[in-house]
Chains A and B, each alone.
Chain A
Amino acid sequence: MDEHPAHESVHASPGRRVATSVGLVVLIASAVVGSNLFGVRDSLFGSATPEPADVAASRVASKGASTATTAPTRTRLRSQPWWQQVTTLEGAGPTTAAPFTIDDGALQWRVKWTCQTGHLLVSAQGPHPVVDGVCPGGKEGFGNKTGPVRVKVTADGPWKLQVEQQVDVPLMEPPFPEMTAPGAAVLSKGSFYKIDQNATGTALVYRLADGSHVLRLEDFFVSPNSELEVRLSALKAPKSTEEYAAAPSELVTRLDVTTGALNFRIPAGVDPTRFGSVVIWCQLVHSAYGAATLGPAQ
């Protein structure tokens, strides 16, 4: 396609004209794809980030229609999938329970069940029962239908169903009321840095009016995995898994949500002032993912 006077392209051979036209169409199409207008590039090749979704505001789905997402913020960030409480159903004998709602973005849902006598059968508009168990007993059953779900329970005695949905949106918990009440104060804080994986955000240790402590993680993200733990380390700034593992540490909590703003009560008997850093530890692969050096709160 050398640049020639206009009449040359007009009088080019039919094959050349077709090839030129096809070439121009391909070029323009690639320009449109490259613009990613209407997400065309992401649709064709896939995206590293999902579509924006509402964050979750609580570990408990909102009352009434139990959608997972009540906070107005939307984000492309995602967490390690975690279980959010939807509702608890109880009864004795057969019944059709009031419907509950599984959020459209939920990955799946489960029923943690217990029963006293006979047999328990729980169906949810699907070909297979969610629960088919012998009583007394208790276990889990799973479903994947989203939207309104009405379960039909066939039982010989008392039963209890705890419904949870698995979501991967960030959890943005507001501080506990006690953290903003008179007498509460931020004792120490620090920013997360990565060790073996990515970790960002801020760790804040609160002392409450009753003398207990709460650890709050804000703007928090850690590379997702299961079996993550939040631990307090005696080290001020551990730089490696080996360095961290060689020093004393205390478990604060297991970390099921890996993105968002989270509150954790520090176990009684653990004095956070004796520790220098907060470490995200993965028990599964024995790796320190990231840490935050605790310093005085300004």
Chain B
Amino acid sequence: MSAAPAVSPPIAGPRLRIGGRSIPLVLPKLGDPRLKLSATIITLTILGQTILNFQVSLPQILVCVLLCAAIDVVMTYRSAKVLVWPASGIQTGISVAFIFRVGGTRHGDFWSMRGLHIFVLVVLLSMVPKYVLRRNGRHVFNPSNVGLAWGLLLIGPSHVFSEHLWWKPLGPAVLFSMAVIFGGGWWVLRQVKMLPMAATFLAAFFVFIAALAVTGHTYWATWHEGKVGGSFYWLTIAMSPELLIFVFFMISDPQTSPKSQMGRNIYAAVTAAVAAGLIGLQNTEFGIKVAILSSLLVSCALVPLFDKAVRRVEDRRAGAEVEPWLSGPVGRQLAIAVRKPVVVAITVIAVAGFINTALLAGNDQIPLIERNLTGRSVQ
């Protein structure tokens, strides 16, 4: 979740004097939902470093947070000549560090510098689309989501992975973490009116994953002896802390989701369907996690369609003239679209994200990695 850096310079308020210039400062407000979100993820990060055995080091976390924040500050200052507290950038950095892992990093290596360059790359993959791919003044993709999905696909399962679907055997540590996730989710989503959207996603996703479990789908995971199947398949995917974080804090980005409640519900259901469809192809935890992340690339790219669908329904209900799906012949519309670099880029990200995720299902190396049969510890 992040917000567009659209800021107007405050007339009054704190200012910073640098080299004779007085620069307005915009500091965080306590009511900002992004602060609540950061507080939740930071709490989970601390739990990860202490009781959940997360394989991430402090330098890896700091690089993500500081670089995202710096990019946010610079880009906002460049456009608005205001120094804004980079709540959005910090949120993106924390989310990347919370989910992204570089193979070979061990829990407890708190000062490991391993793979810092990879974290820098993922940060850039998150922040560049945020400022470059914009539609109606808003970024198209959730920054951490696009960075994580693209980074995992680009660098590949031999070197990187995302935090495990199931952190530990069900016990006090996991239950406490789930309480933090559900509490934080409620705290944030209630304020941004996204609870119905989250509920729609979860309801659809629970059914889809149950159908996959019943039809015998299984997956390999490093943390499980043998394949994960049956009810444990459903539990570890549908109730995965990672999935819940994705639902509560990633697809619920107000900047990248539809404007209307109905549009958000459609968007949530489509995201769940795409995620489940891609998950159904996968037989590894790596593939399933990338499938979840990639589903949002597809649905974020389709947000204008969801908005238009809602407008058409509302027009029809109001008895007004219904806006057509296309404002001209298909061929002409396509010709116009391909001349817009941003449309081409969005299409490439959504389509390639989907296809490349589907291709993971045929990668015979990933099951060996998940089963620790490569002779070296990748995850």
Contact = CB atoms under 8 A, between A and B. Distances in A.
Contacts of B372: 194, 198, 223
B156 interface: yes
A42 B158 CA distance: 8
A200 B373 contact: yes
Interface stretch (A31-39, A174-182, A280-288): A31-39
B368 A2 contact: no
Nearest to A192: B225
Nearest to A33: B154
Given A47-B365, A78-B375, 18 more contacts: A1-B134, A4-B342, A6-B339, A20-B341, A23-B132, A23-B345, A31-B349, A31-B352, A34-B352, A36-B356, A42-B156, A42-B158, A48-B159, A48-B368, A48-B374, A198-B371, A200-B371, A200-B373
Nearest to A31: B352
Interface centre among A10, A47, A78, A194 (most CB of B within 10 A): A47
B368 A76 contact: yes
Contacts of A76: 364-365, 368
A48 B348 contact: no
A259 B373 CA distance: 9
Interface residues of A, number: 37
Given A2-B342, A24-B341, A31-B356, A48 B132 contact: no
Nearest to B157: A48
B345 A49 contact: no
Given A6-B336, A34-B356, A27 B134 contact: no
Nearest to B139: A2
Contacts of B374: 48-49, 78
Interface residues of B, number: 42
Nearest to B362: A36
B154 A30 contact: yes
Contacts of B369: 48-49
A77 interface: yes
A31 B158 contact: no
Nearest to B153: A34
B341 A77 contact: no
A3 interface: yes
B348 A77 contact: no
B271 to A, nearest CB: 20
Interface string A195-213: 0001010000000000000
Given A2-B134, A223-B375, A48 B365 contact: yes
Contacts of B365: 47-49, 76
A33 B352 CA distance: 10
27 contacts: A2-B342, A3-B134, A3-B136, A4-B340, A9-B340, A24-B348, A27-B345, A27-B349, A30-B154, A31-B348, A34-B154, A34-B156, A35-B352, A35-B355, A35-B356, A42-B158, A45-B156, A46-B158, A47-B365, A48-B158, A48-B369, A48-B376, A49-B369, A76-B365, A193-B225, A194-B225, A200-B373
A1 B356 CA distance: 24
Contact of B348 (A28, A47, A193): A28
B125 to A, nearest CB: 9
Given A2-B342, A30-B150, A45-B158, A36 B363 contact: yes
A221 interface: yes
B51 interface: no
A158 B343 CA distance: 80
Contacts of A27: 345, 348-349
A163 B30 CA distance: 76
Interface centre among A30, A33, A76, A77 (most CB of B within 10 A): A30
A4 B339 CA distance: 10
Contacts of B133: 1
Interface of B: 103, 132-137, 150, 153-159, 225, 336, 339-345, 348-349, 352, 355-356, 359, 363-365, 368-369, 371-376, 378
Interface of A: 1-4, 6, 9-10, 20, 23-24, 27-28, 30-31, 33-37, 41-42, 45-49, 76-78, 193-194, 198, 200, 221, 223-224, 259
Nearest to B376: A48
Given A6-B339, A31-B348, A77 B132 contact: no
Contact of A35 (B158, B339, B359, B373): B359
A166 to B, nearest CB: 16
Interface centre among B103, B349, B364, B375 (most CB of A within 10 A): B375
B142 to A, nearest CB: 17
A49 B225 CA distance: 20
B339 to A, nearest CB: 4
B154 A24 contact: no
A75 to B, nearest CB: 9
A52 to B, nearest CB: 8
A78 B374 CA distance: 7
A200 B374 CA distance: 12
A49 B133 CA distance: 36
B369 to A, nearest CB: 5
A173 to B, nearest CB: 19
Contacts of A221: 373
A76 B368 CA distance: 8
Nearest to B343: A3
A49 B158 contact: yes
Contacts of B373: 77, 198, 200, 221, 259
B368 A49 contact: yes
B317 to A, nearest CB: 29
Contacts of A47: 156, 158, 365
Contacts of A28: 348
A128 to B, nearest CB: 32
Interface centre among A4, A6, A20, A49 (most CB of B within 10 A): A49
A2 B137 CA distance: 7
